[in-house]
């Protein structure tokens, strides 16, 4: 799981790219779960939290600029 401190060091473009990457990962996890291939379901929670952190940082940066 990525720490907020590490995410704050990224630029806005990098955050948006990481957001897209995490959304794709979440989609792939859903597919794995539907087909019964997913072993560790706790990964969902971590990915969703990381997406929320990124969305919060993006909103903060857009508000401040």
Q: What pLDDT digit, counting tens, does each position of 6-60 carry?
A: 999 999 999 999 999 999 999 999 999 999 999 999 999 999 999 999 999 999 9
| Residue 1 near residue 50 (C-beta atoms within 8 A) | yes
65 has a pLDDT exceeding 90: no
**What pLDDT was estimated at residue 44?**
94
| pLDDT value for 24 | 98
Q: How far apart are CA 41 and CA 30, in angstroms?
A: 10
pLDDT score recorded for residue 25: 97
Please tell me the pTM assigned to this model: 0.92
pLDDT of residue 1: 81
Count of C-beta atoms within a 10 Å radius of residue 53: 20
Count other C-beta atoms under 10 Å from residue 47's C-beta: 17
Question: Is 44:26 a contact under the CB 8 Å cutoff?
Answer: yes
């Amino acid at each position: 799981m990525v720490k907020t401190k590490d995410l704050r060091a990224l630029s806005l473009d990098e955050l948006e790219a990481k957001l897209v990457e995490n959304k794709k990962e979440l989609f792939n996890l859903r597919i794995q779960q539907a087909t019964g291939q997913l072993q560790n379901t706790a990964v969902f929670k971590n990915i969703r939290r990381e997406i929320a952190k990124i969305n919060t940082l993006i909103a903060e940066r857009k508000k401040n600029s």
